[in-house]
Structure 1
Amino acid sequence: MNRQSNSIVADQVSKLVKTADGNLSILHELSFQIKQGESVAIVGASGSGKSTLLSLLAGLDLPSAGQIELMGQNLNLLDEDGRARLRGQLVGFVFQSFQLLPHLTALENVMLPLEIAGDPQADARLSALEWLEKVGLTPRANHFPKTLSGGEQQRVALARAFINKPAILFADEPTGSLDEASGNRVIELLFELNRENSSTLVLVTHDPALAARCGRQLSLHGGRLT
């Protein structure tokens, strides 16, 4: 397969963690490619290694063996600061727990990635307002997270994840803490924004309906692809 068409390449990736009883093998020699613009669900039972794999793909941790390429960049060759810079340039995140900063308004939370990247505050504010409009939260722009419902907080998180137009979006159980109606709305937004931005979408989920919406599924069992 032509590596140039891939957002992510995993080559013989394994992960071991040290415990009091010795090394514990979490992931075993995983190899796969994810094309640019593809949507992929990582599925499997609890403890199968899904979140560990997502962390490795995002460069939050390094594999014990094998290598991962993100948009052609070998993560093994980058130090922690280098991987952080690459994430800032290429990656957006959506988490089950929203990860909004409680002392910032919805607008300020969405502005944050652009401000960190050094964009002028006025430009960041304008872009954040546009994204809040896309997720239907303009009237809630000046509200703090504690005054927003779970579904509203996740929509703020989606706007924040997409504001820097990431090449790759990682989502870890994005509807796991939402009721069905809120979860369905977030799912629709997630795939709508994915299509509009041509971002590669990689998500971890226990939800069969969400996994089925993706173009492909990677199924883990005992740390191995099945």
Structure 2
Amino acid sequence: MSEPVIIARHLSKVVRSPEAELRILDDVSLQVERGASLAIIGSSGSGKSTLLGLLAGLDQPSSGEVILAGQPLGTLDEDQRALLRSKHVGFVFQSFQLLGSLDALENVMLPLELHGRRDARQQARELLERVGLGARASHYPRQLSGGEQQRVAIARAFASEPDILFADEPTGNLDAATGQRISDLLFSLNREQGTTLVLVTHEQRLAERCSASLHLEGGRLQEQR
């Protein structure tokens, strides 16, 4: 059995206010082996995106622990967690999070330049070609459709060749044909580079392509295969 690259033990997330206590996640435990693919599915408000944020170290649990790439996140400060993510993690968000002041090529080049890659421009062009946007390299996010912006975001996530790719509804804003292309790219990355995929998705067909899935409802883990 492969070494787990993500381990979560008894994760809970509680938000308190003077009026009430909202338990978003309740005692969730899981592990993801290196090179595997995991789909997190569930209805809206079930805690899927919250769980993704905790696993990636973007948020901290109210209780429990996450071990990411061999590092217990609870022992790291914010800067150390950011450094860990920069070395091991890529992200695809439904909201794209592209930099509006950079064109598509520059958005994809950015993580490559941060890693000191001298071939950043060439690699970024190749990645944009892979997602079908070679002709749109000089366009800014405001000049691209939602689906095109998502493809730029996925190319940017691929750029640093991450050990782990977290994706929140990666095909949610795409038409069926483009969504299929992006799904194929995600699993190509998983297969060719051994990248571990953790996906939040509402699409059953995408979830079925993963090697495992878990179902959250009301913040609790319902089933896993």
TM-score category by the smaller chain? over 0.9
Aligned twin of 2:62: 64
Q: Deviations over 1:197-225 (max 9, x none)?
A: 21000010111111111111111011111
Q: 2:126 aligns with which of 118, 127, 130?
A: 130
Shift in Å, 1:10? 0.4
Report the number of matched residues: 222
Identity value in percent: 60
Aligned twin of 1:198: 194
Give me the CA root mean square deviation.
Answer: 1.5
Determine the C-alpha separation between the residues in 1 that align with 2:20 and 2:81. Answer: 29
Shift in Å, 1:179? 2.2
Aligned counterparts, 1:15-30, within 5 A: 15-30=13-28
Shift in Å, 1:192? 1.7
Determine the C-alpha separation between the residues in 1 that align with 2:213 and 2:42. Answer: 10
Aligned twin of 2:100: 102
Shift in Å, 1:162? 1.1
Determine the C-alpha separation between the residues in 1 that align with 2:185 and 2:129. Answer: 12
Aligned twin of 1:46: 44
Shift in Å, 1:176? 1.4
Determine the C-alpha separation between the residues in 2 that align with 1:150 and 1:55. Answer: 23
Shift in Å, 1:138? 2.0
Shift in Å, 1:164? 0.7
Aligned counterparts, 1:132-151, within 5 A: 132-151=128-147
Q: 2:7 aligns with which of 9, 12, 16?
A: 9
Aligned twin of 2:86: 88
**SS class of match (2:61):** coil
**SS class of match (1:62):** coil
Determine the C-alpha separation between the residues in 1 that align with 2:127 and 2:175. Answer: 23
CA contact (8 A) 2:150 2:173 kept: no
Q: Which range moves more in the overlay, 9-18 or 184-193?
A: 184-193
**SS class of match (1:54):** helix
Task: Give the TM-score normalised by the residue count of structure 2.
Answer: 0.93
CA contact (8 A) 1:10 1:68 kept: yes
Aligned twin of 1:212: 208
Aligned counterparts, 1:142-181, within 5 A: 142-181=138-177
CA contact (8 A) 1:111 1:124 kept: yes
Shift in Å, 1:147? 2.4
Flag structure 1 segments of 5+ consecutive residues without an equivalent: none
Q: Which range moves more in the overlay, 36-45 or 92-101?
A: 92-101
CA contact (8 A) 1:151 1:178 kept: yes
